[in-house]
Structure 1
Amino acid sequence: MAGRRRKKFKLLAETIEDGTRASAGQPDEQETHFELPTEILELIISQLTFRDNICASAVCRRWHSVAISVRKVNKPPWLMFFPKVGDLYEFYDPSQRKTYWLELPKLRGSRLCYAKYGWLLLYKPRTQRMFFYCPYTREKIKLPRREFGYQIVAFSAAPTSPSCILFTVKHVSPTLVAISTCHPGANEWTTVNYQNRLPFVSSIWNKLVFCNGLFYCLSLTGWLGVYNPNECTWDVLSVHPPRCPESFFVKNWWKGKFIAEHNGDIFAIYTCSALIPVVYKLDQTNKVWTEMETLEGSTLFASFLSSQARMDLNGMMRNNVYFSKVRYYGKRCVSYSLDSGRYHPRNQCYDWGEQDPYESIWIEAPEDLSTFL
């Protein structure tokens, strides 16, 4: 694939030169070698994906220099840890393997619910108050009071966006679920009961993700429920659950399931203490989960409450699943490479039953490090 891409870019360069000679109407041997102006070349290459940028850099030395100058490498999310005591919060950067700290007294007594777009969604049981909080800017956005258990609550966009909607689903009976929604600025939550089609079983172990204008809910039993916030409809898709690995159903097996989305694609990750992770991608056309042997250059970051996906990270991080566990005194994040087929650090299997699922979460990396200790 890479060879074909390099050939394509070389042909592009030759076509540009040949076209210029033809338009000038002069013989090739009398033609001065033509080169695109650097500004135009930078503009063209800057629009390429990370993978195509790499291929363009192989055309010639000049293209290599330009490709390097405009190459965009995305940042991975950071892993945020909630302390059991005190107000000092730890942030781990998996790309640099560095740890930073922030003192956040306003989060005292709160419980994690979700994280996305650089915002935390938290709940204070004592006041029954749910709120958004950005740990980097200290900005806080309150939401209407409501009593919540331990169910996960997802949101569709940053709370500063008018399209932000919060969503959670709760079990009422085997054939009934209660869906609650809200948006920043609202005076109260809206709760509506919907008929539920078995074998979907809602529980506090639901995994939620927002994708293509819909909220997807991966249930305890692996069935996928879908809520359309615009039409206020709930449906259980006729998609059989991902195939569980043999001996998957061990103690705390429900803690080893994760769901993430990226550019319209939905991924599910299944793992437990003694098994390698299995990654599935939802084929939305054929209504089936497809096991992936490669992540095609992307990277998944799995945590109990919310998981994320990234493209165009630096080379060592691509095609890996990163888990919310740090070993060797904060020096290495536990990850699984689909290329090598093993954990890093070696023999570091991850037992989700060992860890409090509410103690850590992946959050977007900050733009400014000056506020960190």
Structure 2
Amino acid sequence: MARGKRRKLKLLAETVTGDETTAAEDGNERLELQTWSDLPVELLDLIMSGLPPGDNIRASVVCKRWHKVAVSLRALYQSPWLMYFPKGGNLCELYDPSGRKIYPLELPELRGSRVCYTKDGWLLLYRPRNNSVFFLNPFTREMISLPNFQLTAQGVAFSCAPTSTDCVVFTLTQDGPLGVTISTCHPGESEWTTVDHPSRLPFVSSFWDKVVFCNGAFYCLSLTGWVGVYYLPTQYWKVLAVSPPRFPDNFFAKHWWKGKYMTENNGNVLLIFASNSENPVVYKLDRSALEWKELVTLHGVTMFVSFLSSHSGIGLPGITANSVYFPKVRFFGKRCISYSLDDYRYYPRNQQYNWSEEDPFESIWIQPPQDLLTDLDSGVGLGPRFSQMEFAPSTEV
């Protein structure tokens, strides 16, 4: 009886050992069959978010899973490009600061036109000869016309892409010491709506005003630093009781109409002053405290500033965070001038921006389409009007 029991236990032990051995072999076999394409999506996101655009494109051809992750990140994290307007003819240039490449582009639509503003990849243009106002997408060549309107000394902006039903074009001019004239128009309307609004506080308006759309309202920075807000839902105008921020020393003596920029990020209005004599100063508008708060960090945000309109972004491949990118390229396209709030200095070294020598109307930052880098890499759908000149990355520090 005992002998039979011991024999059964031995057979049971052998069976268990055999099962464990088989399980171990199966596990090893599964490990051997795993490849780089089996990486979890979360890990792929982490890896590819740190890749520059060129490596992102190369990684996207490894397999279908890698392609899906790479393209999604490419769409989310595409930095603005700097667009240089032609001084003659139709040829302009687009500079990609992340890939450090220049793309010449033929745009005959720019001839005789003045660029007023850009947002969501669209340009707002004005032709003084016949007072025509229209949108242009330089990447698709699509045009959307607005009713004729005389844009002389106005601050001008629009809320979103003109293909959206929410798009509103906004202009502002001064109407006496305590009043402004605001004109608005939706794409598809037959005429502009113009209304005079009183101001309880003085608002000195001019062509040099900065206008940005944020949280359903247009924020306007006057010549002397006061902020006016036009609330779209109620069509109400108000000058905020917010004292102007501190200007750099001698700012108005040399740079009263240059070196002043405003943009929006995550529902916040950001303002920057830059001069030759001091490092740039960045402020955030605190609506609750009714004051401008100076920022020592942008918390990962990068600002792309130009005279006509400015942009911001976060987590952009090939772009330095906590920095301000200016509309000037050095070393034959290798480096865009930027200022780091972390390092308290300009990059490249000894390339501080000289505001008094630059033409503020020669360039503007514009957001390219999400799939543009993919199309350029494959050469699909762009034709002879869009070519590429590539430069090696700079080692300047």
TM-score (normalizing by structure 1): 0.81
Alignment RMSD: 2.7
Give the letter aligned to residue 96 of structure 1: G
Structure 1 residue 123: Cα displacement: 0.3
* Contact 2:205–2:223 under 8 Å retained in 1: yes
Answer yes or no: is the 8 Å Cα contact 1:299–1:311 preserved in 2: yes
Aligned residue type for 1:220: L
1:284 Cα deviation from its structure 2 partner: 2.1
Superposed CA offset, 1:309-367 (max 9, x none) = 00111365111100111122332211101111111111222233322222110001242
Task: State which of 341, 345, 370 in structure 2 corresponds to 1:342.
Answer: 345
Match of 1:300 among 300, 303, 311: 303
Distance 1:188 1:318, change over 3 A: same
Q: Show the counterpart of 2:166.
A: 163
Contact 1:253 1:272 in 2 (8 A): no
Asked if 1:241 is matched to 2:240, the reply is no
Q: Alignment partner for residue 179 of structure 1, among 182, 193, 218?
A: 182
- Which residue of the partner structure matches residue 261 of structure 2? 258
Kindly name which structure, 1 or 2, has the bigger radius of gyration based on alpha carbons: 2
Match of residue 89, structure 2, among 82, 86, 90: 86
- Indicate if the aligned counterparts of 2:99 and 2:318 stay in contact, CA closer than 8 A: no
Where has structure 1 moved over 4 Å in runs of 4 or more?
Answer: 38-41, 43-47, 66-71
The superposition leaves residues 124-169 of structure 1 with CA deviations (integer Å, 9 ceiling, x where unpaired) of 1111101000000000000000111143311111000000001011
Provide closer, same or farther for how the CA distance between residues 86 and 293 of structure 1 changes in structure 2, counting only shifts above 3 A. same
The one of 313, 327, 333 aligned to 1:310: 313
Name 1:42's counterpart in structure 2.
41
| Structure 2 residue runs without a partner (length 5+) | 1-26, 28-36, 51-64, 388-397
Q: What aligned pairs does 1:185-196 form with structure 2 within 5 A after superposition?
A: 185-196=188-199
Distance 1:254 1:106, change over 3 A: closer
* Secondary structure of 2:280 counterpart: strand
Aligned to 2:274: 271
Amino acid at match of 2:230: Y
CA distance in 2, matches of 1:274, 1:334: 16
With over 3 angstroms needed to count, the CA separation of the structure-2 counterparts of 1:85 and 1:67, relative to structure 1, is closer
Per-residue CA shift, 1:172-224, capped at 9, x if unaligned?
21111100100100111111101023332111111000001010001111111
Q: Counterparts of 1:1-373 in structure 2 under 5 Å?
A: 42=41, 70=69, 72=73, 74-314=77-317, 316-366=319-369, 367=372, 368-369=375-376, 370=379, 371=382, 372-373=386-387
Q: Give the Å deviation of 1:245.
A: 2.1
Maintained 8 Å contact 1:274/1:349: no
Secondary structure at the counterpart of residue 251 of structure 1: helix
Distance 1:41 1:265 in 2: 35
Alpha-carbon distance between aligned partners in 2 of 1:40 and 1:144, rounded to the nearest angstrom = 54
**Residue 26 of structure 1 aligns with which residue?**
none
Using structure 2 for the length normalisation, give the TM-score: 0.76
Unaligned 5+ segments in structure 1 are 1-31, 33-37, 52-65
Distance 1:82 1:67 in 2: 37
Amino acid at match of 1:341: Y
Matched AA of 1:363: I
Would the alpha carbon gap of residues 181 and 140 (structure 1) be closer, same or farther in structure 2, given more than 3 Å must change?
Answer: same
Seen in structure 2, the aligned counterparts of structure 1 residues 135 and 275 have a Cα distance that, compared at 3 Å, is same
Deviation string for 1:219-240 (max 9, x for gaps)?
1111110001221100011111
Deviation at 1:119, TM superposition (A): 0.3
How many residues are aligned here? 324
Per-residue deviation at 1:45? 8.7
Contact 2:178 2:202 in 1 (8 A): no
Letter in 1 for 2:346: Y
Amino acid at match of 1:273: N
- Report sequence identity in percent: 55
Displacement of 1:92 in angstroms is 0.5
Deviation at 1:241, TM superposition (A): 1.3
CA distance in 2, matches of 1:192, 1:225: 15
Q: Distance in 1 between matches of 2:344 and 2:314?
A: 20
Q: What is the identity, as a one-letter code, of the residue corresponding to 2:239?
A: V
Distance in 1 separating the partners of 2:368 and 2:331: 22
The CA distance in 1 between the partners of 2:209 and 2:171, in whole Å, is: 9
Secondary structure of the structure 2 residue equivalent to 1:173: coil
In structure 1, distance between residues paired with 2:309 and 2:156: 10
Q: Distance in 1 between matches of 2:68 and 2:305?
A: 32
